Amino acid sequence: MEKLRIEEIGDINYDYPYLEVFLNDKAEPFMEVSINEKKELIFKYYASNFDTLMNVEEWNYILITAREFLAKGLKNEDDFLKLL
């Protein structure tokens, strides 16, 4: 997707990593996608000084990526807990 960039961020303070969603020409993300304690996706929008406009294909790209991230994140955490 030309207009969007999605980066996975790992943080030792959280059970699951999260995704930051950027417009390609911006240094700051406009959205965070994370996994909550109920093992559901949460979409957090950041306040900004610019409007974020997305078409259906771009929103679908974020949603598909988020769903793949959820499955991978839950599996990775489950595998890690099995090692303990």
Indicate if the pLDDT at residue 8 is higher than 90.
Answer: yes
Domain ranges of the chain: 4-83
Judge whether residue 84 has pLDDT over 80: no
- In this predicted model, what pLDDT tens digit does every residue of 26-79 receive, in sequence order? 999 999 999 999 999 999 999 988 888 999 999 999 999 999 999 999 998 888
The distance in angstroms from the start CA to the end CA of the chain is: 39
**Residue 44, φ and ψ in degrees, nearest 5:** -115, 125
Q: Give all strands of the β-sheet with 31-35 in edge-to-edge order.
A: 4-9, 18-23, 31-35, 41-45
How far is it, in rounded angstroms, from Cα 5 to Cα 1? 7
pLDDT at 10: 92
> Which pLDDT value is given to residue 57?
95
Cβ neighbourhood burial of 58 (10 Å; 0-12, 13-18, 19+): middle
pTM: 0.89
